[in-house]
Amino acid sequence: MKQINTHEQNEQKVKEKPNFNCETGNYHTFCPISCVAWLYQKIEDSFFLVIGTKTCGYFLQNALGVMIFAEPRYAMAELEEGDISAQLSDYEELKRLCLQIKRDRNPSVIFWIGTCTTEIIKMDLEGIAPKLELEINLPIVVARANGLDYAFTQGEDTVLAALAQHSSQNNQILLETPLKKGTVVENDYVEHLPLILFGSIPDTVVNQLTLELKKQGIKVSGWLPSKRYTELPQINPGDYVCGVNPYLSRTATTLMRRRKCKLIGAPFPIGPDGTKAWIEKICTIFNIEPTGLDEREKEIWQKLEYYISLIKSKSVFFMGDNLLEISLARFLIRSGMIVYEIGIPYMDKRYQGAELQLLEKTCRQKNVPIPIIVEKPDNYNQIERIRDIKPDLVITGMANANPLEARGINTKWSVEFTFAQIHGFTNAIEVLELVTRPLRRNQKLEKLGSQRYTDRR
């Protein structure tokens, strides 16, 4: 019988395809209605009305209270016992609230965010909204962000999908005009079909990614969502669309099926490698030869050398929370870390297909096994695996962080990656800043402890 040496075994592992497992079928994540926290700040002329119980209100008050630095434009429509037992008129109650919002805030659009309760009692929000928006002369977009069906960041996905569908019925209020087929725009751009990017990211990052594409001669016709509802791009059949976040599969499906757009399946612009691949794929679609990307990527990697030296050969375990796990794991493997397991609440292999291919390519280049990917992981099973593996760092939801820290395991809240600016070349450092923070903290504590011990002697 032929003996296989260690090198051959490693090569066989590297050539393997990703191994997907599914465990509990439950979402151990933050509630998706928390998407209100960043969407109300992104869409400046909007108002979000969350329709649920007092529990939803308590969650928003506590969870969002530490994140909001400006006056919020959201409110709770609390369902009392009378509402739940159908003794009150949903239409009249929602009309009263929306008229009050219009009078007090005068938004350009009101988003109704459905919760677990509206699903359970079967509130017909989609049926009420069209009638009510005609009566009060104000657009109403209905999005279901209940924790029964959606994980943490998928709340944004349902909102953007509803927004994309709703805008087709309200083209008269969309002001921005897309590029026409066959036209030549300013000298900085080449001729190409309209390109619309989707995903809610801060305006500074929007400008950075738009500028990176401009350097290649590509003009971005608009963003979904835009800074203001009245500035949404007009979406026409045949337009190209491309996402910047891995959790927007429903939005991508809506744009393809409902709006007849063409989806550019690209890795996501997280890390220098992902950003370069994202731009290259868009350039390929428009038959443009990308220029300067290798030098740009090399320049960013050089700036990350200090952080890479801290995490090289360190191990990390993803418990799964915000659906950014595949992209983050790929970037950290490229940075020299060992990834044992990638837990992810929901996995759309079609929408994340290009990202999975880049993960495989990265593992081959680094000559490391492809991490196991566990969809809807069981936290109890994961904790057992963490005890056996003893990783240097666990990226987890807030519920598991303190118990793991009490057992001597370094953790990082996954929610921090959701709210940090991590997209694009220049923001790659933010990812490594977050990852290395607990490791740097421990180094300082060890140094301080040894110094105190020396002083006592």
pLDDT single digits (tens) 199-242: 999 999 999 999 999 999 999 999 999 999 999 999 999 999 99
For residue 83, name the pLDDT band (cuts at 50, 70, 90).
Answer: low
CA dist 245 and 249 (Å) reads 9
User: Do residues 249 and 351 share a domain?
Assistant: no
For residue 17, name the pLDDT band (cuts at 50, 70, 90).
Answer: confident
For residues 48 and 73, the answer to whether their CB atoms sit within 8 Å is yes
At 422, list the tokens: 């991590």
User: Do residues 80 and 146 share a domain?
Assistant: yes
For residues 423 and 276, the answer to whether their CB atoms sit within 8 Å is no
Q: What is the pLDDT of residue 27?
A: 85
Average pLDDT over every residue of 115-126: 88
Q: Do the domain assignments include residue 245? A: yes
pLDDT tens digits, 376-393: 999 999 999 999 999 999
CA dist 360 and 275 (Å) reads 17
Which structural domain, as residue segments, surrounds residue 434?
Answer: 9-23+295-448
User: Do residues 283 and 309 share a domain?
Assistant: no
pTM: 0.88
pLDDT tens digits, 421-441: 999 999 999 999 999 998 888
Check pLDDT > 70 for residue 396: yes
User: Do residues 270 and 345 share a domain?
Assistant: no
Tally of CB atoms within 10 A around 370: 22
Q: What is the CATH number of the domain that holds 201?
A: 3.40.50.1980
User: Do residues 213 and 258 share a domain?
Assistant: yes
Q: What is the mean pLDDT of the chain?
A: 87
Of 289, 312, 330, the residue at which a domain comes to its end is 289
Question: Residue with structure tokens 């329709």?
Answer: 51
pLDDT tens digits, 20-79: 999 988 888 888 999 998 999 899 999 999 998 888 888 888 777 655 555 678 888 888
Check pLDDT > 90 for residue 3: no
Number of domains, the chain: 3
Q: Do the domain assignments include residue 47? A: yes
For residue 19, name the pLDDT band (cuts at 50, 70, 90).
Answer: confident
Of 150, 172, 207, the residue at which a domain comes to its end is 150
Check pLDDT > 90 for residue 245: yes
* Contacts for 24 with CB less than 8 Å, ≥ 6 apart: 376, 377, 378
Check pLDDT > 80 for residue 309: yes
